[in-house]
Structure 1
Amino acid sequence: MGSYREAYQRSITDPAGFWQHAAEAIDWIDPPDRILDDSTAPIFRWFPGATLNTCHNALDRHVHSGRGDQPALIHDSPVTGITRTWSYRELRDEVAVFAGALRRLGVERGDRVVIYMAMVPEAVIAMLACARLGAVHSVVFGGFGARELAARIDDAQPRLVIASSCGIEGGFKGGFEGGIENGIEGGIEGRIKGRKVVRYQPMLDAALAESAHVVDWCVILQRPEAPADLVPGRDLSWADAVLDATPADCVPVAATDPLYILYTSGTTGRPKGVVRDNGGHAVALRWSMENIFGVRPGEVFWAASDVGWVVGHSYIVYGPLLAGATTILYEGKPVGTPDAGAFWRVIEQHRVSAMFTAPTAIRAIRKEDPEGELLSGRDVSCLRTLFLAGERLDPRTYEWAGDLLGIPIVDNWWQTETGWPIAASPRGLQELPTRPGSPSVPMPGYRVRVVDPYGVDVPAGVEGVIVLGLPLPPGCLPSLWRDDERYVRSYLSAFQGAYLTGDGGMFDADGYLYVLGRTDDVINVAGHRLSTGAMEEVLAEHPAVAECAVIGVGDLLKGQIPRGFVVLRAGVGTPPAVLEAELVARVRERIGAVAALRRVDVVAALPKTRSGKILRATMRDVADGREEPVPATIEDPAVLEALRPVLRTPR
């Protein structure tokens, strides 16, 4: 681990020196002469006194360095049949014009702007335009429910909202010949040639009616699939907003000023707004692109995520552009647009060097095309590395993808709060071997510890709670939006001098970290603490299983017992009763009778968030008879409704 170990040790023993050197890759207006402010610990600030502009570092600096004609952004939209590329100069110019339009509507440095858009290039332009002005953007998933959108509007108190008129979801059948057929009529949802078109305007109208905060304007991107009916005096079309707008220059901001707010939860009560600052964010993401992802200027990087998630912020928009790479914005799915070969088509067509997606996406592809036949005939030799994160990467998916593609599969672990990987194999620093079930080793700057309930470090091979020593490295949240007290209470109070990740895990003897799931996914069966993640790993190894979930449900005798749910690969003909017996036997053999897994249900699908995380807590609530609100992040509520009878049926 030579060069990795040297870099990691320096980041721990001399964090100021390490990050001062990393900061040299960023253009500063007033360079940092002080690296870390610890005067208000446990809340820390990186690069106090320095000034910069994030948009300048993402766009203008590359134009000024002579690479203005290099592709910066590729929008690939199989749901509309449109693909378009912007050079760095073209993207800079469009961002400057839209920033000028926002300024004309009253947006200034420090103002908040809520962005409620589909995966369209204007979403990226809007984010960068806010950064250009020093305004603070808060991206809310297009299609989020009105109540959740209203809560975020009330918390962020934006000057204006930027929205697209609709989103287009799901797959399609029969291609796009003939174009749009008759549009869609009425309601929020409709279909055009098999595509689900979701109108955003009714939800935006309802949210604005419910929220106490009043915005000055709404800028609406009119999409031809479902144009919105604009409200006079409040709504302005994107086209009208930019008409004759004067391009805006970059506004200097403090390194400690917020760049964006990203809400992580809060369907009831006040939502939790993670703040990302400008200086630490730029330094950390620029460093991570080169050293973790191994991406060089001019190469193509694809994060198959959504700008509504932290992955979209970090590795669709800011990270690749800060590094001078080409980034792909993909409006589609891993399957169904048009088939399970969609990812291979994008990689081949755009010559992708490195890709980032969720394990769920790969499991979906494996379910539909278990032999990888749709990769046949595709030239994906350009792809060096596949990075997977967002939820637990089971060894079977790791091995399937590696065998199919013949390249390193790099698990990595991080959170919305951290903004970039806590643990990974740093491909640009040193290509450490990867291991199934492990996101490899802690990244520089992260003091990763595994502790017992009293905060004492546990030996290698022993499970515990994963915490991060303070200060967190640059790029991590400095606090929550306007709520330092809640930040300390939620993350910093459980263990002195440490940030609580909420995940459990262990180190092995070689220093590789194993993340075994959220600590609330550890169940207590007759006094025995058992990891549902370990049981899932056993189920996932069965050749018939495409994906699975294990939850703990209440039991009068044992307190809790585990229940398993599996989705089968395409073409599996094993009778469910036979498969259940095989799976139960596997868990008993691998974990022991103490696991008490007696029931495994075969289901058509598992309820997930839009980022692909299985809603285990929601499934547990339904099984235990608690009628908690359905999370606003759910991708398809119908999946949960179909599963309710199974969850509620005792056996």
Structure 2
Amino acid sequence: MKSISISPRPIIPLILPQLEHRYKISRLNHRLPLLHLDGAGRSLLLMASLNNHNHNHNHNHHFRHADSNASPPSSAVAKISHLKAVVLGDAPASEEDDVVLPSHDFSRQALVPSQQKYLEMYKASIENPAGFWSGIASSEFYWKQRWGDQVYSENLDVRRGNIKIEWFKGGITNVCYNCLDRNIDAGLADKIALYWESNEPGFDATLTYSQLLQRVCQLANYLKSVGVRKGDAVVVYLPMLMELPITMLACARIGAVHSVVFAGFSSESLAQRIVDCKPKVVITCNAVKRGPKTVFLKDIVDAALIDSANKGISVDVCLTYENQLALKREKTKWKEGRDIWWEDVVPKYPTSCDVEWVDAEDPLFLLYTSGSTGKPKGVLHTTGGYMVYTATTFKYAFDYKDSDVYWCTADCGWITGHSYVTYGPMLNGATVLLYEGAPSYPDPGRCWDIVDKYKVTIFYTAPTLVRSLMRDGDEYVTRYSRKSLRVLGSVGEPINPSAWRWFFNVVGGSRCPISDTWWQTETGGFMITPLPGAWPQKPGSATFPFFGVQPVIVDEKGVELDGECSGYLCVKSSWPGAFRTLYGDHERYETTYFKPFPGYYFTGDGCSRDKDGYHWLTGRVDDVINVSGHRIGTAEVESALVSHPQCAEAAVVGVEHQVKGQGIYAFVTPVEGISYSEELRKSLILTVRTQIGAFAAPDKIHWAPALPKTRSGKIMRRILRKIAARQLDELGDTSTLADPGVVEQLIKLADT
């Protein structure tokens, strides 16, 4: 941790005489190893590197002051990072402020109340990961049987054989039991487990922990009755109804492997996942309302089941929930003998169900994520390590208290909905809010109406939503109280500093720390995140690694970079929540994640580290686009485009988008004799929507007489990215292209 800049307390008395005549000194040094100075409505935060600490008073250091009229002090005793700060709750964060300091009141009650405490815990987790994680696993979870002497075993180096990660192997447990039965036994039977808010205002529901367990057991018993056994796959294509986490927990209870597919994917994408994991049952609902629009989910499932049957994979049972607010059952298309109404069968089953005890390394779920090649990757997470890691990250990253009401806006079709809607919160006995609908329906104030209605204390969302609501204006936020909010969170992509400040100032009233989390489907849980109350926050920075995580930044040759730097983000050594393989394709698992930089897990993300040790994520470095926090492989979109009979060739790149973070920009070459037209443009976009889903639809179709290729036929995507971004003075060397004239043609067609 030598790159983390902190101030040793011995320097504080030496600096004070020069400053106290100009500033009121807030003595936080008993709690934070840094010096905080209040002045002119702002603060100055001094952070000094331990490595550079010496007692020679002759060095001349200049400070930037909140009060521009105050002259800088003449000397100090260490190399100082000059950071202007605002204290949580004192004033809004402006563009002038480098950091937001935790307030004394917030830190005093935080689970990790200081930098010292964080460093102490982090050091223990790195120096003795077996002791650190086994201590948490033993004390906070139920195990039918404890693991053996070896807490974990790993090989992250392809040069030493097959990649392998195992945690708590031999330990016998069950995630559903730990989410529900264990909490009920601890006295939480009557605590609200789930609040549910309908798309339509005025419709809602609740379940206590004991009621939730009963509902879970009924579904688990039904699944067993239709032949679902330990290790069998169940595909789930549900919107954000309470039946979605119920289904996940029911599968976990009987040792079945759930594969939740986001109910925005097309029938082709759903069929692809059905064919890959061969489920015993598909669970869906007839329809859902998203804002004013009705989406007929059952029709999509019907088409997917026909498609998968044509590919040799038949599913005999399609359990369908009647979502009456969206569509009545008599209007739902039906296939007798295969389709079964949830309401007709599940409530008839007993409200208790024996637990299937499983090994820590038995699979819990499959979740498909986009790769840089066309075929989605089936990320496989196992039971024990994932359970311990998601629960622990949730607890500390949100500074969880038993009284909290927690709302994560993510859908359970993505990893965030697995780890931080269902498993992480419920393993902590939390009260979780589910919202079925669109965040701006019936108006952009809906989120804050919901926050006030349920007295939400922790609000976790994506930068895309923040930017979208920001564009709608402050008045939709400020008409609501939001006084219940205590901690905010951000997920899915890096949040730009201006959106961070708006989220902090307007939504959180300048009094809620923001847990700006970086992690991935593959990591299972948070990897780099602020801990509320512990660290000063820099708007837009994910801050420092979570316990047990060793991030490194490497150059193109895989050499670790120290100090202030930029490069490829990798992780050395395993952590409990890491995925274990790609389903049915361990070779691709090794090739994608462990061969690029042998000895490390390669994240696919770029990262920079500043002089104070803070991490700043810079986005994907491979052929994956991050649209509204959803990863979409360029190859998937290209494949959909070229399936169109009038598309000869296509190349897709990501481009900056004001709301979505990244947009999809497609260069398309029509077949010979087909002219460019608005009809063709719309038809191409519809093809992508149909084959993948609406979220993958290109934002721009750029007509291309030809694509820039090298003499060997490789498409020069670097040039396409520059054209898409209109950075035409940065095209670089085009002499290696087979036909350099193509570039000029593309530039001329940029605005057609």
Aligned to 1:512: 614
Tell me, yes or no, if the aligned pair for 2:594 and 2:602 is still in contact at 8 Å: yes
Query: 1:60 and 1:496, CA in 2 relative to 1: closer, same or farther beyond 3 A?
Result: same
Aligned to 1:2: 116
Measure how far apart 1:269 and its partner are.
Answer: 5.6
Tell me, yes or no, if the aligned pair for 2:702 and 2:750 is still in contact at 8 Å: no
Secondary structure in 2 matching 1:399? helix
Aligned to 2:555: 452
Aligned to 2:254: 133
Tell me, yes or no, if the aligned pair for 2:654 and 2:662 is still in contact at 8 Å: no
Which residue identity lines up with residue 296 of structure 2 in the other structure?
R
Aligned with residue 640 of structure 1, among 691, 699, 702: 699
Aligned with residue 15 of structure 1, among 129, 138, 141: 129
Which residue identity lines up with residue 105 of structure 1 in the other structure?
V
Which structure has the larger Rg over C-alpha atoms? Answer: 2
Structure 1 CA distance for aligned equivalents of residues 339 and 264 of structure 2: 18
Measure how far apart 1:243 and its partner are.
Answer: 4.3
Aligned to 1:384: 486
Aligned to 1:499: 601
Aligned with residue 204 of structure 1, among 301, 321, 328: 301
Size of the aligned set, in residue pairs, is: 542
Structure 2 CA distance for aligned equivalents of residues 563 and 440 of structure 1: 26
Structure 2 CA distance for aligned equivalents of residues 297 and 253 of structure 1: 28
Secondary structure in 1 matching 2:354? coil
1:111-163 C-alpha deviation (Å, 9 max, x unpaired): 11000111111111111100111100000112421111111011111101001
Secondary structure in 2 matching 1:38? strand
Tell me, yes or no, if the aligned pair for 1:55 and 1:131 is still in contact at 8 Å: yes
- 1:630 counterpart = 2:688: yes
Measure how far apart 1:287 and its partner are.
Answer: 0.8
Tell me, yes or no, if the aligned pair for 1:142 and 1:167 is still in contact at 8 Å: no
- 1:419 counterpart = 2:465: no
Aligned with residue 101 of structure 1, among 222, 228, 251: 222
Tell me, yes or no, if the aligned pair for 1:448 and 1:469 is still in contact at 8 Å: yes
TM-score (norm 2): 0.68
Aligned to 1:436: 539
Structure 2 CA distance for aligned equivalents of residues 622 and 493 of structure 1: 32
- 1:160 counterpart = 2:281: yes
Tell me, yes or no, if the aligned pair for 1:450 and 1:505 is still in contact at 8 Å: yes
Measure how far apart 1:519 and its partner are.
Answer: 1.4
Which residue identity lines up with residue 370 of structure 2 in the other structure?
S
Aligned to 1:556: none
Structure 1 CA distance for aligned equivalents of residues 698 and 594 of structure 2: 36
Which residue identity lines up with residue 432 of structure 1 in the other structure?
W
Query: 1:353 and 1:198, CA in 2 relative to 1: closer, same or farther beyond 3 A?
Result: same
Aligned to 2:320: 220
1:436-493 C-alpha deviation (Å, 9 max, x unpaired): 221111111211000101111223332111101122x011201111322211111001
Aligned with residue 241 of structure 1, among 313, 324, 345: 345
Structure 2 CA distance for aligned equivalents of residues 101 and 424 of structure 1: 40
Tell me, yes or no, if the aligned pair for 1:155 and 1:270 is still in contact at 8 Å: no
Which residue identity lines up with residue 91 of structure 1 in the other structure?
L
Aligned to 2:62: none
Tell me, yes or no, if the aligned pair for 1:104 and 1:245 is still in contact at 8 Å: no
Aligned to 1:289: 394
Aligned with residue 151 of structure 2, among 35, 41, 44: 35
Tell me, yes or no, if the aligned pair for 1:70 and 1:298 is still in contact at 8 Å: no
Tell me, yes or no, if the aligned pair for 1:148 and 1:267 is still in contact at 8 Å: no
Aligned to 1:69: 190
Measure how far apart 1:50 and its partner are.
Answer: 0.4
Structure 2 CA distance for aligned equivalents of residues 147 and 516 of structure 1: 32
Structure 2 CA distance for aligned equivalents of residues 482 and 21 of structure 1: 33
Larger mean Cα displacement after TM superposition, 4-13 or 230-239: 4-13
TM-score (norm 1): 0.78
Structure 2 CA distance for aligned equivalents of residues 563 and 468 of structure 1: 25
Structure 2 CA distance for aligned equivalents of residues 143 and 284 of structure 1: 28
Structure 2 CA distance for aligned equivalents of residues 332 and 267 of structure 1: 31
Alignment of 1:332-371 (within 5 A): 332-335=437-440, 337-369=441-473
Measure how far apart 1:289 and its partner are.
Answer: 1.8
Structure 2 CA distance for aligned equivalents of residues 501 and 563 of structure 1: 18
Query: 1:284 and 1:466, CA in 2 relative to 1: closer, same or farther beyond 3 A?
Result: same
Tell me, yes or no, if the aligned pair for 2:566 and 2:606 is still in contact at 8 Å: yes
Aligned with residue 385 of structure 2, among 259, 266, 280: 280
Measure how far apart 1:230 and its partner are.
Answer: 2.1
- 1:461 counterpart = 2:564: yes
Structure 2 CA distance for aligned equivalents of residues 456 and 387 of structure 1: 33
Structure 1 CA distance for aligned equivalents of residues 134 and 407 of structure 2: 29
Aligned with residue 592 of structure 2, among 462, 465, 490: 490
Measure how far apart 1:216 and its partner are.
Answer: 2.5
Which residue identity lines up with residue 329 of structure 1 in the other structure?
L
Measure how far apart 1:408 and its partner are.
Answer: 1.7
Tell me, yes or no, if the aligned pair for 2:236 and 2:283 is still in contact at 8 Å: yes
Give ranges in structure 2 of 5+ residues lacking alignment.
1-114, 156-160, 627-633, 635-650, 671-675, 705-722, 725-745
Which residue identity lines up with residue 9 of structure 1 in the other structure?
K
